[in-house]
Structure 1
Amino acid sequence: MQQLRDVMALAEPRRLLGGTVIFDEGQPVRRFSLLMTGDIRFVRLTAEGDQIIVLHIQVGQMFGIGVALGQITHQTTAIAANDCLLLSWPNALWSVFCAAYPAFAAATFRAVGARADEMSNRIVELSTKLVEQRIACALLRMIGQSGRKVGGGVEIGFPLTRGNIADMTGTTLHTVSRVLSSWERLRLIESTRCHIVVIDPHRLVMISLATGRSPTDHPGFAEIAAAIH
């Protein structure tokens, strides 16, 4: 507990409104941060200037840790998806914390490993799954990460547009709108402006698998079950 207090005492707290850019792709890496409340999305810019969402950061995760990965500049742009509170430290403290508190470094590298696994799964989805499966996988991944139980289902805990989903699943806005409208008619989801509630996660898992396998075979089943219960 004293170690935690020591680390927190050196942090700079920052409160950010949704939509705030925390750092830009290509900027020098100067600080690392811990997300305390809210959600953060990482985006990359295409050659045409479009933003592609590559990752969501959840409460309790470190980010901006280029110093640990040997990166001089940020590889993505970080944007607050909603109102956030984060704690940040200058890069010079990274080696100090890692030497003094081994659990600090271990937890951070576990998070990096989990993000690498997620990106690997998404590459497989883009390469092997049909559009409806990819959209189902994306929604399930997000309720596993930030879902909260509401009346009638599980709500994705941050603003999400149909354009965002199209970016994440490698398809078009028209296709995402068509699929989500179909799922709304079937009472699989409810969709309002920038918010999605998954009404029937079980059926969405079956769509994502498109096989006769059990929903427990889905790679994020444990997180989805936790969000529901």
Structure 2
Amino acid sequence: MAIASQISPEVLGAMELFQGLPTSALEAVAAVARLRRVPKDLRIFAQGDGGERAHAVIEGAVRIEQSGSDGAQVIIRFIRSGEMFGTVALFTDGRYPADAIALAETLEASWSEAELLDLIHKHPQIGINVIRIIGKRLQEVQERVRELATQDAEHRVAHTVLRLAGQAGHSTVDGTAIEFPLRRKDVADIAGTTLHTASRILAGWEKAGLLATNNQRLTIRCPSEIARIAEDGAG
């Protein structure tokens, strides 16, 4: 499939990184963007690599996962269309803190550090957006830490499923479907539990008709009941 040589200002304007920019600024952003279509399962960058570019998903989805010193991997978050990733390396130690892997065929845009800093200098709204995005993600991390400290596995899995539905869910005749492939290990990692425990919980919910899975695609059939389980753990 051919790739357009440039992103339209309309597409850029809908992205979290460039919201609030006038058309002239969006055209400047598009002029220096590098577009690349990435096949499923390709590693876009690896943990520890030099962070030379800021990335954003135009179409598709990306999994961000981090490895510990023992080699164990954990999912940090998923990046869907319209979201940025890899940018934090440009503002910290210059190294990507995690791997980025395409969950499906993905169209990504990227900007070099010099290009992004020049755009921020010329259009300060981009810098404000970066701060807002990082703040929102920090808030999510804080919520996950609180859940780990105060709730049991079932409640954490419920929060995880609802959070993913809120970030990447769309309505279907069967319920709220999460738009990218989702392994049970992914849910376990984000919820901070074991694969065995997450699988047991999800299988129980599926048997009860609360959700359904098909080819790693999860659909929440009864969001209100999943929300009730999550809220029961809030006290």
Same fold (TM over 0.5): yes
The amino acid that maps onto 1:136 is A
Of 56-65 and 81-90, the range deviating more from structure 2: 56-65
Q: Which residue of 2 aligns with 1:125?
A: 147
Q: How high is the TM-score relative to the length of structure 1?
A: 0.88
* Cα RMSD after superposing both structures: 1.6
Deviation, structure 1 residue 130: 0.9
Deviation, structure 1 residue 67: 5.2
Are residues 212 and 104 of structure 1, via their aligned partners in 2, closer, same or farther at CA, if it must alter by over 3 Å? Answer: closer
Of 124-133 and 165-174, the range deviating more from structure 2: 165-174
In structure 2, C-alpha distance between the alignment counterparts of 1:176 and 1:66, rounded to whole Å: 30
The amino acid that maps onto 2:139 is D
Are residues 93 and 113 of structure 1, via their aligned partners in 2, closer, same or farther at CA, if it must alter by over 3 Å? Answer: same
Percentage of pairs with the same residue = 31
Q: Which residue of 1 aligns with 2:162?
A: 140
Unmatched segments (≥5 aa) in structure 2: 1-22
- Is the 1:61–1:111 Cα contact (8 Å) retained in structure 2? no
The amino acid that maps onto 2:142 is S
Q: Which residue of 1 aligns with 2:213?
A: 191
The amino acid that maps onto 1:90 is S
The amino acid that maps onto 1:70 is T
In structure 2, C-alpha distance between the alignment counterparts of 1:177 and 1:61, rounded to whole Å: 29
In structure 2, C-alpha distance between the alignment counterparts of 1:194 and 1:46, rounded to whole Å: 26
Is 2:157 aligned against 1:102?
no
- Is the 2:89–2:95 Cα contact (8 Å) retained in structure 1? no
Cα-to-partner distance string for 1:155-211 (whole Å, 9 max, x where unaligned): 111111111111222222221121111111211101233111000111101101106
Deviation, structure 1 residue 212: 9.3
Q: Which residue of 1 aligns with 2:99?
A: 77
Q: How high is the TM-score relative to the length of structure 2?
A: 0.86
Match of residue 113, structure 2, among 75, 91, 107: 91
Is 2:38 aligned against 1:16?
yes
Cα-to-partner distance string for 1:22-79 (whole Å, 9 max, x where unaligned): 1111001111122211111211112332220011122222221135523211111111
Are residues 114 and 82 of structure 1, via their aligned partners in 2, closer, same or farther at CA, if it must alter by over 3 Å? Answer: same
Are residues 66 and 36 of structure 1, via their aligned partners in 2, closer, same or farther at CA, if it must alter by over 3 Å? Answer: same
Are residues 104 and 212 of structure 1, via their aligned partners in 2, closer, same or farther at CA, if it must alter by over 3 Å? Answer: closer
